[in-house]
Structure 1
Amino acid sequence: MNTTPVISSLNNTYCQQIIDIILPIQQIEFNVPITLEAQPDLLDIESNYHQTGGNFWGATYNEQLVGTIALIAFGDNAAAIRKMFVLKEYRGKELGIAQLLLDNLIAYCRQNNITSIYLGTVEVLKAAHRFYERNGFTRLAKHDLPESFPLMAADTIFYELHLNN
């Protein structure tokens, strides 16, 4: 049994496992009024993430998928973080899964000359706001987002991080 979280790239064979993590967190835990129909990207990871120049990663712990993070590349050296979720019982500094996921994504950005990272989130995810801010992200007004940023209807709070490669 592996008691160290492992981060790896996910493809379409993981769609159902990804959905099984994300939807209950959105709908049940945080009461975000979003459906699978509003997130068709979850049904085709490869087209929506890999083919943009981004990727979709999962954190596995004891051979169970327990967290996700994704990246959509857009514009000039820019990308958007999407689908960062960790199952409640695996959150926190003890395992550091969220940090491992984000560190992996940032390393990918540096390797692929992505220098500006953006993300959208919702008001209720206060711990996520603190997490991003601890990692150097700064809040950004919606009207200051790049025009080509792929907006999600539910998002109301936005962040950016500029990397010095």
Structure 2
Amino acid sequence: MKVLIQQLDNAYSDELIDLILTIQQKEFNVPITIEDQPDLKKIESFYMESGGNFWGAFIEGELVGSIALVKFDERAGAVRKMFVKKEFRGKELNIAQVLLEVLVAFCRENGIDTIYLGTVSVLKAAIRFYERNHFLQVEKENLPARFPLMSADNVFYYLNVN
């Protein structure tokens, strides 16, 4: 199976919503709805206009993973919407790793020095993944003032990419 990573725009909103809500609600029982994530309906204005981006991982035309970057400061960004469909996770395809590497490369090319992220403590595999990739935990009160908080998040990390 060949994984293709490509930039996403508003044309992919419905596929993204389907991918992300299924994982959030059905797999992990996180009480979050599309109303809590209006950014998924306006990818271009929310992510790209400020200098961020949104990528998807496709296998044979099917969207199986996503990652996004919100640039919230001159040299800082927030990792958002990091999801991989359950049956495509793991070392074999390494989709999460490839998506993160694409995002980090974009940051280096675009002068973003530090990336931050919030996640939920129940997502143990995600936390292990970030720690394996040298993300360091940061207390909520020590996040940059302009970091875009998501209400469900209760664990926070940062990574210096340069």
Same fold (TM over 0.5): yes
Counterpart of 1:22 (choices 12, 20, 28) is: 20
Query: Equivalent residue for 1:4?
Result: 2
SS at match of 1:52: coil
SS at match of 1:94: coil
- Using the TM superposition, give the Cα deviation of residue 117 of structure 1 relative to its aligned residue in structure 2, in angstroms: 0.2
Q: 2 CA distance for matches of 1:61 and 1:34?
A: 27
Letter in 1 for 2:148: P
Aligned residue runs from structure 1 range 13-162, under 5 A: 13-162=11-160
Q: 2 CA distance for matches of 1:115 and 1:68?
A: 21
- Give the gaps of 5 or more residues in structure 1: none
Amino-acid identity (%): 60
Q: TM-score, normalised by structure 2?
A: 0.99
- Using the TM superposition, give the Cα deviation of residue 76 of structure 1 relative to its aligned residue in structure 2, in angstroms: 2.6
Q: 2 CA distance for matches of 1:139 and 1:86?
A: 22
Q: 2 CA distance for matches of 1:73 and 1:125?
A: 24
- Give the gaps of 5 or more residues in structure 2: none
- Aligned Cα RMSD in Å? 0.6
Q: Runs of at least 4 residues of structure 1 off by over 4 A?
A: none
Q: 2 CA distance for matches of 1:163 and 1:72?
A: 15
SS at match of 2:65: strand
Letter in 2 for 1:44: K
Deviations 1:126-159 (A, max 9, x none): 0000000000100110001000000001100000
Letter in 2 for 1:77: R
Deviations 1:18-72 (A, max 9, x none): 0010001001100001110010001110011011100000000111110000000
- What number of residue pairs does the alignment pair up? 162
